[in-house]
């Protein structure tokens, strides 16, 4: 990936504090807003341990994550370790949540002011 595109993706992800996670699988289609944070190209979400999203991710790791500024497609899993330095982990409900890590495959950034076309960046 070209450096300027990597920086563009990293910057876009770092601005988000909440995002809508959409999954599909054995528990059906699910879409909920969760707290989020990022480190480099990885996006992390706090997902309650009772959420059907976790059941869906066991069967199908493909997800869509949306904010007002962008839409991300990627592959998700429960993070094997809680990343040090992730501000998201200081939230009061973090102890009752799983940290879901998403590796983006495509990011569509909406144009400023809603005029123009979305910018699409494929992430390898």
For 34-93, the pLDDT digits (tens) are 999 999 999 999 999 999 999 999 999 999 999 999 999 999 999 999 998 899 999 999
Q: Could you tell me the residue ranges of all domains in the chain?
A: 3-122
Confidence of residue 113 (pLDDT cuts 50, 70, 90): confident
pLDDT at 115: 77
pTM: 0.94
Query: What topology is assigned to 3-122 in CATH?
Result: Pnp Oxidase; Chain A (2.30.110)
**Secondary structure of the chain in the HEC alphabet?**
CCHHHHHHHHHHHHCCCEEEEEECCCCCCEEEEEEEEEECCEEEEEEECCCHHHHHHHHCCEEEEECCCEEEEEEEEECCCCCCCCHHHHCHHHHHEEEEEEEEEEEEECCHHHCCCCEEEECC
């Amino acid at each position: 990936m070209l450096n300027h595109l990597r920086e563009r993706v990293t910057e876009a992800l770092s601005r988000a504090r909440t995002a809508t996670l959409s999954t599909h699988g054995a528990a059906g289609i699910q879409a909920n807003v969760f707290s989020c944070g990022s480190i480099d190209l990885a996006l992390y979400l706090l997902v309650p341990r009772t959420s059907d999203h976790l059941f869906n991710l066991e069967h199908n790791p493909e997800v869509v994550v949306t904010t007002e500024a962008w839409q991300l497609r990627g592959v998700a899993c429960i993070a094997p370790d809680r990343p040090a330095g992730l501000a998201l982990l200081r939230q009061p409900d973090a102890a009752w949540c799983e940290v879901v890590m998403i590796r983006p495959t495509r990011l569509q950034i909406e144009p400023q002011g809603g005029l123009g076309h979305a910018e699409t960046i494929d992430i390898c």
